Structure 1
């Protein structure tokens, strides 16, 4: 069973900060908190990289990342 973005949409409201894990090309992990993950459509979310230079740099060279969201209920 896999979850859809629609099924976890209440987790994206920003009540509990999410976290994002990325990795450098050398394999060094980086974890940062996200104040909000924005729902775009059933296949996409948007993240703000306003203060996350290291995270943004990692995603630009390695597009794989993991975002953890928590259900506030």
Structure 2
């Protein structure tokens, strides 16, 4: 589906990435791999250095925005 050339735009939203308990690096690799001009990914997570490093280390056009909200749950 994500490789269908007739598909104009797809948005993937992953909430609470930091709560992923089954192979989070594999999920991040998947998100990075599928991201393209047609497939946009929006991720939310608590600040975790492993997630930040993985997203910063890829060579794709990734926009990383970190917001500290101490009272956010």
TM-score by length of 2: 0.28
Taking CA–CA contacts closer than 8 Å with sequence separation of 6 or more, which of the two structures ends up with the larger relative contact order? Answer: 1
Q: Which has the larger radius of gyration?
A: 2
Higher helix share: 2
